[in-house]
């Protein structure tokens, strides 16, 4: 028994020594990795001399760490990236050696850990940087991939849901000149990455040059698709109009996905309803009657569940009717509404804002052939917008010269939709082609306003 005590004591000392070496190695590796990541991330902030100096310090840290620390793939990657970041500080003649040293480090690392996607991305990045890497670095070892693109496709197999590796792979694809593959990965990244930043979106927007590329990059998930629609509405309205079918196709897929998530229990009813409302309020949706009908049909149940039976009934009437493609105009200072002509027509989908409660203002409607009007819906987008139906006059004309006042078929119905005032005006049978909604109140500030496409809508049925 006594003979074993020295052995136990020695074993304890040996264990403590090994632990101490591992701890030292870990600290040295961590220090080297931190320095490497700092150099990679903050390269634009460096001047050439300080970058070169910090990189030389990093190399010394790395050499000390390798004496004590086991191989670590993350540290290896950080070192390789830092070496590439330091390239601008090196004489031209030394740069190929630095690239090749990084590539050898990473190839050695991937042999030890072939399932680590980040290593493959890092290798692909260098191969894109130096397309003749095999000759440049005198590497003749057997290569499991026939091309850099094939290596990147393998990354998607190894890490299909890694937003970091997908995004970096997309950047490498761009360096290879394979833009379609890059855009496809950027689309997938947006669809699965809730932290996809505005800067990343702006980067992706700038890559789009034609309809095909837009179709590849456009996400088919909510809310990502709405970010694209709103961006194009603000920055490139002509492109939004030109590629409207592409955007609407993606939006329909996003709605289908939302419904599937809701029905499978992945999406609670309250956010599901709010998402549908957000989509329904997009001006682009007004160009797709089929999508409108789909959304309104689902929103009937949403509003009824929220206790807004009045609006649910209005939506039900809208889905069973046709939104008539009228022409619209706003006529200011219409002090003689019975004799002043309407002019300045625009389409039913006009997005500029207008107000119904400007003193002596008239909203004008031209009814195309082949439709019988049934009811008008007036709606504000302002939370404090209010409109007294008694301050509105309805007038009609057959020739746009003489307008005749008429009464709605029943008392105007007033309600609220998500806190915003809404009016329903029933129209009597008539052969008028021109209509005025004339405001004779004296509001000091116009508050019943909205984009013209939403401010007033005419519903009815085709006559043929």
Query: Which structure tokens are listed for 73?
Result: 């793939």
| Together in a domain, 401 and 284 | no
What pTM does this model have?
0.77
DSSP state of 373: E
Position 151 in a domain: yes
Task: Read off the pLDDT of residues 153-211 as tens digits, 9 standing for 90 and up.
Answer: 999 999 999 999 999 999 999 999 999 999 999 999 999 999 999 999 999 999 999 99
In this prediction, what percent of the chain has a pLDDT beyond 90?
A: 62
Bridge partners, 413 (sequence order): 424
Position 16 in a domain: yes
| Together in a domain, 44 and 115 | yes
Report the candidate in 337, 225, 330 with the shortest Cα–Cα distance to residue 284: 225
Query: Which structure tokens are listed for 162?
Result: 């890694």
- Residue carrying the six token digits 């590439």: 84
Q: Which domain holds residue 392?
A: 323-462
Domains identified in the chain, total number:
3
Position 310 in a domain: yes
Position 359 in a domain: yes
Q: Is the pLDDT of residue 305 over 80?
A: yes
Q: What is the dihedral of CA 291, 296, 297, 302, to 10 degrees?
A: 130
| Together in a domain, 108 and 36 | yes
| Together in a domain, 313 and 327 | no
| Together in a domain, 52 and 173 | yes
| Together in a domain, 133 and 259 | no
Radius of gyration of the chain measured on its C-alpha atoms: 33
Q: Is the pLDDT of residue 370 over 70?
A: yes
Instruction: Return the minimum-mean-pLDDT range out of 51-60, 151-160, 284-293, 442-451.
Output: 51-60
Q: Sort 26 into a burial class: Cβ within 10 Å, 0-12 / 13-18 / 19+.
A: middle
pLDDT given for residue 32 in this prediction: 45
Q: How far apart are CA 318 and CA 316, in angstroms?
A: 5
Query: Which structure tokens are listed for 261?
Result: 């998530």
| Together in a domain, 341 and 308 | no
| Together in a domain, 20 and 66 | yes
Is the bond preceding 223 in cis, omega lying within 30 degrees of 0?
yes
DSSP state of 89: G
pLDDT given for residue 38 in this prediction: 52
Task: Read off the pLDDT of residues 85-105 as tens digits, 9 standing for 90 and up.
Answer: 777 777 888 888 888 888 888
Under DSSP, is residue 63 helix (H, G, I), strand (E, B) or coil?
A: helix
| Together in a domain, 299 and 173 | no
């Amino acid at each position: 028994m006594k003979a074993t005590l020295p052995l136990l004591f020695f074993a304890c000392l040996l264990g403590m020594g090994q632990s101490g070496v591992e701890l030292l190695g870990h600290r040295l590796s961590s220090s080297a990795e931190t320095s490497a990541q700092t150099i990679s991330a903050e390269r634009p902030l460096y001047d050439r001399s300080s970058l070169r100096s910090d990189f030389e310090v990093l190399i010394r840290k790395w050499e000390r760490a390798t004496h004590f620390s086991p191989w670590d793939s993350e540290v290896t990657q950080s070192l390789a990236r830092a070496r590439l970041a330091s390239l601008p500080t090196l004489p031209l003649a030394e740069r190929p050696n630095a690239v090749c040293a990084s590539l050898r480090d990473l190839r050695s690392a991937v042999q030890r850990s072939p399932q680590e996607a980040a290593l493959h991305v890092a290798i692909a990045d260098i191969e894109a940087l130096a397309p003749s890497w095999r000759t440049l670095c005198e590497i003749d070892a057997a290569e499991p991939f026939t091309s850099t693109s094939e290596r990147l496709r393998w990354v998607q197999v190894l890490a299909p849901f890694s937003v970091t590796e997908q995004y970096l792979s997309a950047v490498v694809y761009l360096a290879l000149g394979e833009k379609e593959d890059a855009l496809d990965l950027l689309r997938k990244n947006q669809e699965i990455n809730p932290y996809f930043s505005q800067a990343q979106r702006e980067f992706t927007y700038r890559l789009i040059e034609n309809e095909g590329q837009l179709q590849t990059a456009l996400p088919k998930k909510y809310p990502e698709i709405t970010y694209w629609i709103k961006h194009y509405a603000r920055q490139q309205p002509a492109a939004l109009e030109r590629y409207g079918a592409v955007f609407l196709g993606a939006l329909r897929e996003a709605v289908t996905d939302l419904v599937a998530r809701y029905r499978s229990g992945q999406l609670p009813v309250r956010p599901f309803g709010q998402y549908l409302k957000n989509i329904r309020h997009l001006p682009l949706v007004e160009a797709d009657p089929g999508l409108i009908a789909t959304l309104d049909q689902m929103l009937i149940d949403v509003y009824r569940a929220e206790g807004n039976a009045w609006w649910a009934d209005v939506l039900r009437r809208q889905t069973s009717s046709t939104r008539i493609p009228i022409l619209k105009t706003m006529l200011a200072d219409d002090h003689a509404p019975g004799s002043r002509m309407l002019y300045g027509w625009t389409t039913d989908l006009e997005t500029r804002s207008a107000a119904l409660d400007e003193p002596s203002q008239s909203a004008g409607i031209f009814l195309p052939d082949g439709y019988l009007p049934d009811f008008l819906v007036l709606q504000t987008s302002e939370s404090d917008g209010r409109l007294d139906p008694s301050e509105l006059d309805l007038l009609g004309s057959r020739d746009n010269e003489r307008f005749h006042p008429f009464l709605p078929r029943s008392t105007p119905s007033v309600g609220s939709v998500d806190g915003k005032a809404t009016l329903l005006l029933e129209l009597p049978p008539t052969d008028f082609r021109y209509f005025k909604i004339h405001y004779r109140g004296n509001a000091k500030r116009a508050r019943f306003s909205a984009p013209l496409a939403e401010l007033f809508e005419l519903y009815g049925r085709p006559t043929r």
